[in-house]
């Protein structure tokens, strides 16, 4: 039996996991889990998407790697961090500090001029973490880039039939969390070989809670 899933139903799922979750001394994240089916992972199946969330109260941290005028513009736009070539060279000589630095930030943006040096000094660490910088063209509107990435999440999976990502936290409105879940589902569906037919199950959970899963499979066009 197949069922439709709507933002209203996602909202009800959010309400249920919140109600069943034990109170913690910290604000728990709300996570979306999607299980796939009828996909041959041996054929290199992978998802590596940046998804902009319509609703957010916890902006992602964005580091800009640039020098000169672009570096100044990034600082004026209040990027969470701005580093240049000298910092890159230092990181290249200290892998431990490089890891600590990379783990601080969710996204990296880089002037196209310094991308070769980024690859040389940090590429081996950024690549496996899915954090290779998004190139910034010469006349890039840095404020717009920062605004978009601060409201985004990275959704990744490789050779696996499931993904898990944070769509917000329990302090957010139920409806807003449902809207975010819907946005992620829409983005992921477009990357699947057979779209919605490859989605087996959708689950939601709090950080420390058990997943709330659907018994039936999903048949839905997320539009």
The per-residue pLDDT for range 35-79, each reduced to its tens digit, is: 999 999 888 889 999 999 999 988 999 999 999 999 999 999 999
Is the separation of the CB atoms in 146 and 117 below 8 Å?
no
Whether residues 119 and 159 fall in one domain: no
Is the separation of the CB atoms in 130 and 154 below 8 Å?
yes
Which stretches of the chain score pLDDT less than 70? Answer: 1-4, 214-223
Instruction: Give the ranges where the chain is alpha helix by DSSP (H).
Output: 7-20, 68-76, 85-92, 95-104, 115-126, 142-150, 174-189
Is the separation of the CB atoms in 18 and 27 below 8 Å?
no
- At residue 185's C-alpha, the angle toward residues 187 and 125, to 5°, is 60
H or E element: which one contains 223? none
Q: How many domains does the chain have?
A: 2
Report the pLDDT value the prediction gives residue 214, as an integer from 0 to 100.
63
Single out the residue in 149, 183, 207 at which a domain terminates. Answer: 149
Whether residues 37 and 69 fall in one domain: no
Single out the residue in 103, 121, 149 at which a domain terminates. Answer: 149
- Report the predicted TM-score, pTM, of the whole model to 2 decimal places: 0.86
Domain range spanning residue 75? 62-149
Whether residues 104 and 142 fall in one domain: yes
Whether residues 124 and 179 fall in one domain: no
Whether residues 120 and 197 fall in one domain: no
Report the pLDDT value the prediction gives residue 3, as an integer from 0 to 100.
41
Single out the residue in 108, 133, 149 at which a domain terminates. Answer: 149
Whether residues 46 and 70 fall in one domain: no
Whether residues 71 and 19 fall in one domain: no
């Amino acid at each position: 039996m197949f069922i439709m899933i709507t933002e209203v139903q996602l909202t009800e799922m959010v309400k249920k996991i919140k109600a069943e979750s034990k109170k913690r001394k910290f604000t728990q994240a709300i996570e979306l889990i999607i299980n796939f089916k009828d996909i041959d992972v041996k054929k290199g199946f992978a998802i590596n998407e940046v998804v902009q969330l319509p609703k957010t109260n916890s902006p992602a941290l964005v580091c800009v790697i640039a020098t000169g005028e672009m570096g100044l513009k990034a600082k004026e736009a209040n990027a969470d961090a701005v580093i240049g070539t000298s910092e890159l060279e230092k990181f290249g000589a200290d892998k431990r500090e490089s890891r600590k630095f990379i783990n601080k930030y969710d996204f990296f943006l880089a002037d196209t001029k310094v991308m070769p040096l980024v690859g040389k000094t940090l590429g081996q660490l950024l690549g496996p973490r899915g954090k290779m910088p998004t190139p910034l063209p010469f006349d890039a509107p840095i404020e717009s880039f920062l605004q978009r990435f601060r409201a985004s999440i990275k959704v990744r999976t490789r050779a696996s039939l499931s993904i898990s990502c944070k769509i917000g936290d329990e302090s957010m409105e139920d409806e807003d969390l449902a809207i975010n879940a819907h946005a992620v589902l829409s983005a992921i569906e477009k990357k699947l070989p057979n779209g919605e037919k490859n989605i087996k199950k959708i689950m939601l959970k709090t950080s420390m809670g058990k997943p709330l899963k659907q018994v039936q499979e999903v048949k839905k066009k997320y539009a």
